[in-house]
């Protein structure tokens, strides 16, 4: 008979079981801790493909040396443990692929930003920060409620723009400053000088720096020249709520503005632009500017509009008005009241309009522009009529066809110059006059009229000088000297002295100080008798 002990399995000793349990515990703990550590590093974040753009923007940002977990969880042991555990949850989501069904979302607490090793010293509150042409103060924005709302760091520093990590977007600024509201003291938020300090925002105007302090001293409203610079209303359509909330009971709170802002802005730090439609801070486009008028007044001022915006329908070329480049719309110059034939009071422009922003001398500049253009248009129309007579006598053929095409373009240019009025865009007007002369020259070559060819060649002269943006057409003017004459004449014709290869520059006779507000601007560098006797 066999021994029973040989047929029974050997019993494990308690000691062996203890060590196996201990080994399993240590292995599990090591695996757990390793997973916790692995998921705590920023490199783990890009394991999910939806997080790659966010990771890449972080890696290229100034925060690249700061681990993601330090910002995404508040300081303190409780948040640290929560961060470790959520990292494990993310690991499970990764292996289960459930992350593909979710939208990335994060809430960054101000406490994370104000860690002692980060922005805890709050030095940023004392500095004026230059941001896109304006100076910004954190203290002015974070010290008290704004529009009754408590702003968070992420109200402005957000990830609205893909690829820009925690970068400030102006969209929040514009929503706060330009959104219409019935609340008290919100109108002052639209005051331009809150951001654009007096004299700080000097603009290049016709090769000069324009000093806004002149208008500021006159307490001129910025919108007088620039019009409305806010496009959009910043509304919150109910449909935007559906991107996060599906429960109908939550939508019932839609009209409770105070509650909605407390929950979304103060508690959960949702960026304003996630809910609000954007407000843009820019000048209206031509189409936006004209929409209100054209619904009733079809084709009114169409020529003036083409001239102002420098648009030639034939060539599709655009020569933008300097005022349009500086965001000054029609009402910037049309400030004078004028009664029309039907008794309607209209806003008119004129030489006096210039004085408010420039000096009284600009009234003369304005009238020079206007008179020179009228004289040229009248003269060119005379040329056109004489040419029409000659072209009609030509035999049918290619030369007559080319001449008629040139005449058609001449009439197009002259009509735009006359109806559009060159003062609306003097640079574009100058280009149209030059092109008209080119067409005259083409016809002169075809008809072989030497007298007309010589006449047109004189018209083709255009003075090239930094003074031209203001003193357009100066070559057409003459100056009368009362106490001095040359060869018995006391008339000084500009064109005779400035045209040709040996033509004199403006600075040969005039002070070249470019700032028109300087008293010496444009004065003669010597008395007339000394200047003239250098050559005569």
Decide which of 1 and 403 is more confident.
Answer: 403
The CATH 1.10.3820.10 portion of the chain extends over 25-113
pLDDT of residue 289: 57
**pLDDT tens digits along 244-302:** 887 778 888 888 888 888 888 878 878 888 888 888 888 776 655 554 555 555 566 77
Tell me the backbone φ, ψ of residue 525, rounded to 5 degrees: -75, -25
- Please, are residues 494 and 474 in contact by the beta-carbon 8 Å criterion? yes
Secondary structure of residue 128 in the 3-state scheme: strand
Please say if the pLDDT value at position 12 is more than 70: no
Decide which of 56 and 223 is more confident.
Answer: 56
pLDDT-wise least confident of 3-17, 167-181, 393-407, 487-501 = 3-17
pLDDT-wise least confident of 324-328, 426-430, 490-494 = 324-328
pLDDT-wise least confident of 153-162, 262-271, 277-286, 409-418 = 153-162
- Please, are residues 253 and 262 in contact by the beta-carbon 8 Å criterion? no
pLDDT of residue 71: 84
pLDDT of residue 126: 79
How many whole angstroms separate alpha carbon 431 and alpha carbon 445? Answer: 21
* Residue 397, number of CB atoms within 10 A of its CB: 8
How many whole angstroms separate alpha carbon 240 and alpha carbon 232? Answer: 16
How many whole angstroms separate alpha carbon 87 and alpha carbon 44? Answer: 9
- 133, two tokens: 């042409």
Q: At 281, which helix (H) or strand (E)?
A: strand 280-281
Please say if the pLDDT value at position 414 is more than 80: yes
The Cα diameter of the chain in Å comes to 158
- 165, two tokens: 């990590």
**pLDDT tens digits along 54-70:** 888 888 888 888 888 88
Arithmetic mean of pLDDT over the chain:
76
The residue whose two tokens read 């409203």 is 221
Rounded (5°) CA angle 461-465-471: 85
Secondary structure of residue 68 in the 3-state scheme: helix
- 22, two tokens: 């201990």
The answer for residues whose C-beta is within 8 angstroms of residue 127's C-beta and 6 or more apart is 137, 138
How many whole angstroms separate alpha carbon 74 and alpha carbon 70? Answer: 7
Which of 458-465's residues contact partners 24+ apart within 8 Å by CB, and which partners?
459/379, 459/380, 460/434, 461/495, 461/499, 462/430, 462/434, 463/498, 463/499, 465/505, 465/506
* Residue 475, number of CB atoms within 10 A of its CB: 20
- Beta partners for 337? 347
How many whole angstroms separate alpha carbon 166 and alpha carbon 63? Answer: 9
pLDDT of residue 409: 92
Average pLDDT over residues 479-506: 74
Q: What percent of the chain has pLDDT over 90?
A: 2
How many whole angstroms separate alpha carbon 199 and alpha carbon 404? Answer: 54
**pLDDT tens digits along 437-481:** 888 888 888 888 777 777 777 676 666 677 776 777 777 777 777
Among 265, 262, 257, which Cα is nearest to 110's? Answer: 265
CA distances from 262 to 169, 268, 270, 311 (A): 22, 8, 10, 50
Q: How far apart are the first and last CA of the chain?
A: 151
226: Cα separation from own chain's centroid: 13
What confidence category does residue 528 fall into, taking pLDDT thresholds of 50, 70 and 90?
A: confident
Among 228, 250, 232, 231, which Cα is nearest to 240's? Answer: 250
**pLDDT tens digits along 368-386:** 888 888 888 998 998 888 8
Average pLDDT over residues 5-11: 54
pLDDT of residue 411: 92
What confidence category does residue 89 fall into, taking pLDDT thresholds of 50, 70 and 90?
A: confident
How many whole angstroms separate alpha carbon 166 and alpha carbon 112? Answer: 13
Please say if the pLDDT value at position 209 is more than 60: no
Please say if the pLDDT value at position 17 is more than 60: yes
Q: Which CATH superfamily is domain 25-113 in?
A: Di-heme elbow motif domain (1.10.3820.10)
pLDDT of residue 160: 62
pLDDT of residue 530: 77
What confidence category does residue 517 fall into, taking pLDDT thresholds of 50, 70 and 90?
A: low
**pLDDT tens digits along 119-143:** 888 888 878 888 887 888 888 787 6
| Whether pTM exceeds 0.75 | no
Secondary structure of residue 278 in the 3-state scheme: coil
What confidence category does residue 1 fall into, taking pLDDT thresholds of 50, 70 and 90?
A: very low
Among 8-22, 82-96, 405-419, 472-486, name the most confident range: 405-419
Q: What percent of the chain has pLDDT over 70?
A: 76
Among 4-8, 85-89, 168-172, 231-235, name the most confident range: 231-235
pLDDT of residue 473: 74
């Amino acid at each position: 008979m066999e021994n029973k002990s040989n047929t029974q399995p050997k019993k494990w000793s308690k000691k062996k079981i203890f060590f196996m349990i201990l080994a399993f515990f240590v292995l599990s703990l090591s695996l757990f801790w390793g997973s916790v550590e692995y998921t705590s590093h920023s490199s783990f974040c890009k394991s999910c493909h939806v997080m790659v753009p966010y990771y890449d923007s972080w890696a290229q940002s100034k925060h690249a040396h700061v681990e993601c977990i330090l910002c995404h969880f508040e300081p303190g042991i409780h948040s640290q443990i929560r961060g470790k555990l959520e990292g494990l949850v993310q690991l499970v989501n990764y292996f289960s692929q459930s992350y593909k069904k979710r939208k990335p979302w994060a809430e960054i607490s101000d406490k994370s930003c104000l860690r002692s090793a980060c922005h805890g010293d709050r030095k940023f509150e004392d500095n004026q920060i230059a941001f896109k042409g304006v100076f910004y103060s954190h203290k002015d924005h974070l010290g008290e409620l704004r529009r009754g709302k408590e702003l968070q760091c992420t109200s402005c520093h957000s990830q609205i723009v893909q690829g820009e990590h925690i970068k400030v977007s102006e969209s929040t600024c514009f929503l706060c400053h330009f959104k219409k509201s019935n609340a008290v003291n919100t109108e002052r938020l639209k005051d331009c000088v809150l951001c654009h300090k007096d004299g700080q925002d000097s603009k290049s105007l016709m090769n000069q720096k324009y000093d806004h302090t002149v208008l500021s001293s006159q307490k001129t409203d910025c919108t007088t020249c620039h019009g409305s610079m806010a496009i959009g209303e910043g509304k919150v359509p109910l449909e935007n709520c559906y991107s996060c909330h599906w429960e109908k009971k939550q939508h019932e709170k839609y009209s409770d503005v105070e509650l909605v802002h407390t929950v979304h802005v103060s508690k959960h730090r949702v960026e304003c632009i996630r809910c609000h439609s954007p407000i843009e801070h820019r000048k209206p486009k031509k189409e936006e500017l004209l929409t209100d008028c054209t619904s009733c007044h079809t084709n009114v001022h169409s020529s003036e509009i083409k001239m102002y915006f420098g648009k030639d329908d034939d060539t599709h070329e655009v020569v933008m008005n300097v005022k349009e480049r500086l965001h000054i719309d029609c009402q910037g110059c049309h400030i004078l009241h004028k009664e029309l034939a039907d008794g309607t009071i209209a806003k008119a422009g004129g030489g006096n309009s210039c004085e408010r922003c420039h000096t009284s001398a600009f009234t003369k500049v304005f009238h020079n522009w206007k008179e020179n253009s009228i004289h040229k248009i009248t003269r060119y129309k005379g040329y056109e009529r004489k040419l029409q007579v000659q072209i009609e006598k030509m035999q049918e053929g290619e030369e007559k066809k080319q001449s008629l095409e040139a005449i058609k373009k001449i009439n197009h240019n002259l009509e735009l110059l006359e109806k559009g009025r060159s003062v609306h865009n003097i640079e574009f007007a100058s280009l149209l006059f030059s092109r008209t002369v080119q067409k005259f020259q083409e016809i002169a070559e075809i008809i072989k009229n030497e007298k007309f060819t010589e006449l047109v060649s004189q018209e083709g002269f255009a003075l090239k000088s930094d003074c031209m943006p203001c003193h357009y057409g100066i070559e057409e003017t003459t100056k009368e000297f009362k106490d001095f004459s040359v060869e018995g004449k006391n008339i000084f014709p500009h064109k005779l002295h400035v045209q040709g290869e040996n033509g004199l520059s403006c600075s040969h006779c005039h002070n070249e100080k470019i700032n028109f507000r300087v008293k010496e601007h444009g004065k003669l560098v010597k008395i007339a008798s000394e200047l003239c006797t250098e050559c005569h």
